[in-house]
Amino acid sequence: MGLVVRIAPLMLALGAAAIPLPAQWSQFRANPQLTGVSTAKIPSQLRLLWTFEAGDVIESSPVIDAGVVYIGSSTAELLALDLATGKVRWKYKTKGAVGESTPAVSAGFVVIGDLAGVVHGVYAKDGSPAWTFTTGSEIKASPVIFGDRVLIGSYDGNLYCLRLSTGKELWSFKTNGPVHATAAVDQGLTFVSGCDGIFRAIQIADGKEVYAIKTASYMGASPAMLGDLSFVGTYDNEVLAIDRKRRAILWRYQNPTRKFPFYSSAAVWNGRVYLGGRDKLVYCFDARTGKPLWQFSARARVDSSPAIADGRLFIGSHDGRLYVLDLLKGEKVFEFEAGGAISSSPALTEGKVVFATQDGKVMALGN
């Protein structure tokens, strides 16, 4: 293509203040901006280090903090596994099965939602209960922790803001439909891509809506932040770039021949946007123009959200494979056959990749 891409070392930037990248993958998409990017160094050759059998379907994504892997399971459990060995550190029983809600870890707490509509605050050191908060319907969104606040959506239509230490409700914001996606955070605002077809900016301080942008599309994916732009896929078979400064949609992309929804949440890096589609493709776009830069074809739909580190993209597929792709060219550099469909998203930490399968396995790859 003749395209020259310069990769910045440790931060994301596009027309706004740079976003520091985390050393830990301690919540869904690695950070409150939901960028899906890590500073971890990952070996070029990967092998299976361990497998943990959870006993039922896993749609939750793993997170990693201080040498521990945390993940929810359909067995109605929050699991804490040793990163080095895969052995159980502790198990916490949730009220209902855990669906897609992914844990978030901060300040000694682990937070997760379940399909009974309960948000659980758990002490990370031993899995003992700290608090619970009950919503009006099931929770599939992942919690985002920002300072002493937990932001999490429910199918009762509300986005809730809770105090991390106590679970006390600080405010709630009512949308016009279920809140399925995970909220993103940037510059004192939280952003929700809604099932009601509205992209909302809400003040974290008091829960007041600052603005709303109609997308006319049902969105199950979570928005990724890059500078003044947000990126999200829709059930109307489109990828949207939303200009938050102008409060308008900057561009829309739709595959001209393959009309399938986008459920994967985007990763953003160095002026590029990456995500998977139910059309079996992994896409890379220019963030400013929406121009497709490359596509990679898997063997089944790609609901998994990509993770980026060390010049590579890591993503699962319903074909049962974890793919590792070159960021610039989209060429496959490695694949691992897990045996079960992978709908959740991989977590990255120094030297290791951790992911889960729908047949109930948690796996760690490394060298």
To which residue do tokens 């109930």 refer? 360
pLDDT in tens, 252-262: 999 999 999 99
Strand ranges of the sheet holding 109-113, from the earlier edge strand across to the other edge: 104-106, 109-113, 118-123, 129-134
At residue 216, the pLDDT reads 87
Is residue 264 very low, low, confident or very high in pLDDT (cuts 50, 70, 90)?
very high
Give the list of residues 6+ apart from residue 347 with CB closer than 8 angstroms, or none: 25, 30, 61, 62, 63, 64, 69, 307, 353, 354, 355
Q: Which fold has domain 11-366?
A: Methylamine Dehydrogenase; Chain H (2.130.10)
pLDDT mean over 269-295: 98
pLDDT in tens, 325-345: 999 999 999 999 999 999 999
At residue 15, the pLDDT reads 44
Is residue 80 very low, low, confident or very high in pLDDT (cuts 50, 70, 90)?
very high
Strand ranges of the sheet holding 184-186, from the earlier edge strand across to the other edge: 184-186, 189-193, 198-203, 209-214
Is residue 19 very low, low, confident or very high in pLDDT (cuts 50, 70, 90)?
low
pLDDT in tens, 202-240: 999 999 999 999 998 999 999 999 999 999 999 999 999
CB 109 within 8 A of CB 126: no
At residue 10, the pLDDT reads 37
pLDDT in tens, 116-162: 999 999 999 999 999 999 999 999 999 999 999 999 999 999 999 99
Q: Give the C-alpha separation, 11 to 313, whole Å.
A: 16
Is residue 22 very low, low, confident or very high in pLDDT (cuts 50, 70, 90)?
low
Of 156, 163, 67, 155, nearest in space to 111 by CA: 163
Is residue 352 very low, low, confident or very high in pLDDT (cuts 50, 70, 90)?
very high
At residue 48, the pLDDT reads 98
At residue 96, the pLDDT reads 98
At residue 39, the pLDDT reads 94
Write down the pTM of the prediction.
Answer: 0.94
pLDDT mean over 48-68: 97
Instruction: Give backbone dihedrals phi and psi of 90, rounded to 5 degrees, phi first.
Output: -165, 165
Q: Encoding tokens for residue 226?
A: 């890059």
Of 270, 259, 345, nearest in space to 311 by CA: 270
pLDDT mean over 52-71: 97
Q: Give the C-alpha separation, 361 to 89, whole Å.
A: 16
| Strand partners for 129 | 122
Does the structure show a pLDDT above 80 at 18? no
Q: Give the C-alpha separation, 330 to 339, whole Å.
A: 23
The full 3-state SS of 20-63, as one line of letters, equals ECCCCECCCCCCCCCCCECCCCCCCCCEEEEEEECCCCCCCCCE
Instruction: Give backbone dihedrals phi and psi of 248, rounded to 5 degrees, phi first.
Output: -150, 160
At residue 24, the pLDDT reads 83
CB atoms within 10 A of CB 297: 11
Question: Whole-angstrom distance between the N-terminal and C-terminal Cα of the chain?
Answer: 34
Q: Give the C-alpha separation, 340 to 318, whole Å.
A: 8
Extents of the domains making up the chain:
11-366
Kind and range of the H or E element at 196?
A: none
Does the structure show a pLDDT above 90 at 269? yes
At residue 40, the pLDDT reads 95
At residue 278, the pLDDT reads 98
Is residue 9 very low, low, confident or very high in pLDDT (cuts 50, 70, 90)?
very low
pLDDT in tens, 110-129: 999 999 999 999 999 999 99
Enter the DSSP assignment of 101. Answer: -
pLDDT mean over 75-79: 98
> What single letter denotes the amino acid at residue 234?
T
Does the structure show a pLDDT above 70 at 30? yes
Of 223, 183, 228, nearest in space to 207 by CA: 183
CB 113 within 8 A of CB 152: yes
At residue 132, the pLDDT reads 98
At residue 20, the pLDDT reads 59
Enter the DSSP assignment of 330. Answer: -
